[in-house]
Amino acid sequence: MGSPAWQTGLTRRRFLVIAGTALGSVHLVPSGVIGAPGRPGAGRRFTVAHIGTGGMGNTHLQNMLAFQSEGKVRIAAVCDVDDNRLLAATETAGAGVVPYRDYRYIVERKDIDAVVIATPDHWHAVQTVHACETGKHVYVEKPASVTVREGQAMVAAARRYNVAVQVGAQARTAKGGWHTCRAIRNGIVGRVHKVSCWHYANPTDDHPVPDGPPPPDLDWDLWLGPLPWRPYNRRYLPAHFRWLMESGGGQIRDRGAHQFSTILWCMNADRQTSFTVEAKGRAPTRGLWDCPIDMDVVYQFKNPDWTLEWGQPGNKVGKTEFGNVFWGENGHLVLEWEGGYRPANPEAIHFKLPPGGTEVYRTDEYADFNMNHKADWFKAIREGHHRPAVDIEIGHRTATLCNLGNLAYILGRKLVWDGDKQQVVGDAQANRLLGRPQRYPYVL
């Protein structure tokens, strides 16, 4: 991490003052008060801020530093509810970058063009909508949302305020995903009738610990945000939020958001939004974590007809920890992982486009697929006439698959999803569970 900030010219007391710990003084600006900053021209760099700087958030910060060295962006601010992470991010970002503990200071700044959101999943929707309302373009980590209604609000905000919102499912701008999509759409295995996923199980909380006081460097209330208040327990975070339905949703909402995004792209099914879903799983018997250990989910699509299967662990056809298989009338094609961190299979890489074949969207500006995905976002911001590769509507539709898979497991019955009306057909209880109350003031 390097020398502590207070040893490099920034005292800890001054750091905490700058980071904005007085929550009572912060008020969200009503929609429409702050106008959109406009689309930066080709020669002007973006001013960006980072909200959430641990884990993947640090990767995003490193990417932006590389863009900053190329003169494409200026990093203005970093934000995290954990002072240790915030200190590290401030030092990494360098001189002139202002640290904040509360993201609301950032969305109120008129000089910031765009934000990168890498907070826990339960924060994605609220922070994205508030950023859109103040005219900021958004790069938000997957999954887009933890409820269907949150995803709808995100899409509506992006459209109303005319901002580019890119979801961090990077395979659609990575070589592995591109090779596979190109091959599948051009008939490498003929018509695909089924896509099956395999993935290792969710962990179990085998060593539960009692509730206790939060660490002094963590703002526990801000970490919870829109979730109901509850006492601190170290089995909730930092990464453990993934194993609770209300904040993470397990592997299907995490990696499923990656894999399903790639599969929908390869199947040209972004607009095939209606389906049925059935799920079963093995629930944990102890501890705080409530996501099913094993889980099998089956989605049935019509016109064209095909099946999507989530297997946890499923049938491991490939060699790596997770992936999926496209089953066609003329064989099958494996994609390890989701097409981002792993290359496509050789037969997809060496596939020759047939006469009259269809090319698919590709951006190849950077060798690093994380950089490439952000470059695609920048292009959408600058040009304004096209949406990014994983526009928020695509991210929302993908998260809907994940969220409804979990809902079918919770309810223990088959759900029939009407994608046009975005509701479950003939199931009032399921429709009530498409959204949930949020804790004031962290609300949409």
pLDDT tens digits, residue range 138-171?
Answer: 999 999 999 999 999 999 999 999 999 999 999 9
Which DSSP string do the residues of 47-80 spell out, in sequence order?
EEEEE--STHHHHHHHHHHHHHHTTSEEEEEEE-
pLDDT of residue 47: 98
3-state secondary structure 120-160: CHHHHHHHHHHHHHCCCEEEECCCCCCCHHHHHHHHHHHHH
Give the three-state DSSP class for 37. Answer: coil
pLDDT in tens, 239-261: 999 999 999 999 999 999 999 99
Burial of 39 (0-12, 13-18, 19+ CB in 10 A): middle
Q: What is the DSSP letter of 331?
A: E
Q: pLDDT class for 24, splitting at 50, 70, 90?
A: very low
pTM confidence score: 0.92
pLDDT of residue 4: 34
pLDDT in tens, 200-245: 999 999 999 999 999 999 999 999 999 999 999 999 999 999 999 9
pLDDT of residue 175: 95
364, pLDDT greater than 90: no
List of residues 6+ apart from 241 with CB closer than 8 A: 120, 121, 122, 247, 248
Pick from 56, 43, 36, 124: nearest CA to 374:
56
Q: Which two tokens stand for residue 251?
A: 């592997």
63 vs 324: CA distance, rounded Å: 28
pLDDT of residue 384: 87
- Give every strand in the sheet of 192-198, ordered side by side: 331-336, 323-328, 192-198, 306-312, 294-301, 275-282, 415-418, 423-424
Task: Please tell me the least confidently modeled range out of 19-23, 274-278, 330-334.
Answer: 19-23
Q: How far out from the chain centre does Cα 397 lie?
A: 12
| CATH annotation of 172-206+221-361+392-432 | 3.30.360.10
Q: Which residue has the higher pLDDT, 33 or 84?
A: 84
- Give every strand in the sheet of 114-117, ordered side by side: 98-100, 73-79, 46-51, 114-117, 137-140, 165-167
User: Domain boundaries in the chain?
Assistant: 5-170, 172-206+221-361+392-432
34, pLDDT greater than 50: no
pLDDT of residue 12: 53
pLDDT in tens, 37-95: 455 555 579 999 999 999 999 999 999 999 999 999 999 999 999 999 999 999 999 99
| Domain 5-170 CATH superfamily | NAD(P)-binding Rossmann-like Domain (3.40.50.720)
Mean pLDDT, the chain, integer: 91
